[in-house]
């Protein structure tokens, strides 16, 4: 089974569990507006899928701020991999960074350490991640322009 299929199966099973139990998985998700076409069901499913990870991190004593800073480091690694042309590695590391970004708030709420300063840190790190993503995209674009081949059949392939 591929990683994509496994993740899809996990999300689908969480959505089925949400529907089977009548919903209401989280008051936090219930406060959100939901997605226009599909409602709150997928949000509840993702929240349920991430709760065990958040609870495990709390039991291990990992702070929400540490998770947030880890997401920044992971995003920098993903941006570097993308900029160097390692798209598979970059995608995998970007998924880890996104997962950490999604879990940090759960850790804060579960540990009772949610604070205005933590929200500011999370939002600030999110903007840095956006900047890293933009910089990686520009590096990939510049690299592609430098390495483009002429239409001649004798030309060598780009050295990515």
> 131 in a domain, yes or no?
yes
Tell me what percent of the residues of the chain surpass a pLDDT of 90.
34
> What mean pLDDT, rounded, does the chain reach?
80
Residues 72 and 107 in one domain: yes
84/102 same-domain check = yes
Confidence of residue 80 (pLDDT cuts 50, 70, 90): very high
- Mean pLDDT value of segment 33-56: 78
Q: Tell whether pTM > 0.75.
A: no
Segments forming the whole domain that contains residue 48: 1-24+34-60
The mean pLDDT of 13-31, rounded to a whole number, is 64
- Residues 83, 17, single domain; the answer is no
The pLDDT tens digits of the residues spanning 94-143 come to 888 988 998 998 999 999 999 999 999 999 999 999 899 888 888 888 87
Specify if 154 maps to a domain. Answer: no
Which band of pLDDT confidence, cut at 50, 70 and 90, is reported for residue 21?
A: low
Higher pLDDT, 105 or 37: 105
Are 121 and 67 within one domain? yes
Residue 112 domain-assigned (yes or no): yes
Q: Total structural domains in the chain?
A: 2
Q: Span 79-86, mean pLDDT?
A: 88
Residue of 109 and 49 predicted with greater confidence: 109
DSSP symbols for the chain: --HHHHHHHHHHHHHHHHHHTTS---HHHHHS--BTTTBTHHHHHHHHHHHHHHHHHHHTT--HHHHHHHHHHHHHHHHHHHHTT-HHHHHHHHHHHHHHHHHHHHHHHHHT---HHHHHHHHHHHHHHHHHHHHHHHHHHHHHHHTPPPS-TTSPPP--
Shared-domain flag, residues 115 and 92: yes
Q: Which residues of 30-69 are buried (b: 16+ CB within 10 A; e: fewer)?
A: eeeeeeeeeebbbbbbbbbbbbebbeebbeeebbbbebbe
Per-residue confidence (pLDDT) for residue 74, from 0 to 100: 95
Position 92 scores a pLDDT of: 86
| pLDDT score recorded for residue 151 | 45
Please report the pLDDT score of residue 66 as a whole number. Answer: 95
Give the catalytic positions in this structure. 126
- The predicted pLDDT at position 20 comes to 66
């Amino acid at each position: 089974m591929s990683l994509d299929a496994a993740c899809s199966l996990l999300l689908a099973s969480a959505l089925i569990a949400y529907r089977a139990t009548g919903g209401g998985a989280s008051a936090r998700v219930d406060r959100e507006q939901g997605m226009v076409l599909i409602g709150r069901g997928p949000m509840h499913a993702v929240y349920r899928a991430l709760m065990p990870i958040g609870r495990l991190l709390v039991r291990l004593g990992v702070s929400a701020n540490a998770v947030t800073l880890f997401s920044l480091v992971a995003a920098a690694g993903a941006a570097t991999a993308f900029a160097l042309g390692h798209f598979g590695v970059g995608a995998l590391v970007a998924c880890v960074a996104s997962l950490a970004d999604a879990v940090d708030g759960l850790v804060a709420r579960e540990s009772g350490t949610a604070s205005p300063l933590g929200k500011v840190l999370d939002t600030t790190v999110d903007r840095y991640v956006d900047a890293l993503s933009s910089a990686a995209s520009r590096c990939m674009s510049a690299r592609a322009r430098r390495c483009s081949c002429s239409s001649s059949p004798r030309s060598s392939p780009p050295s990515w």
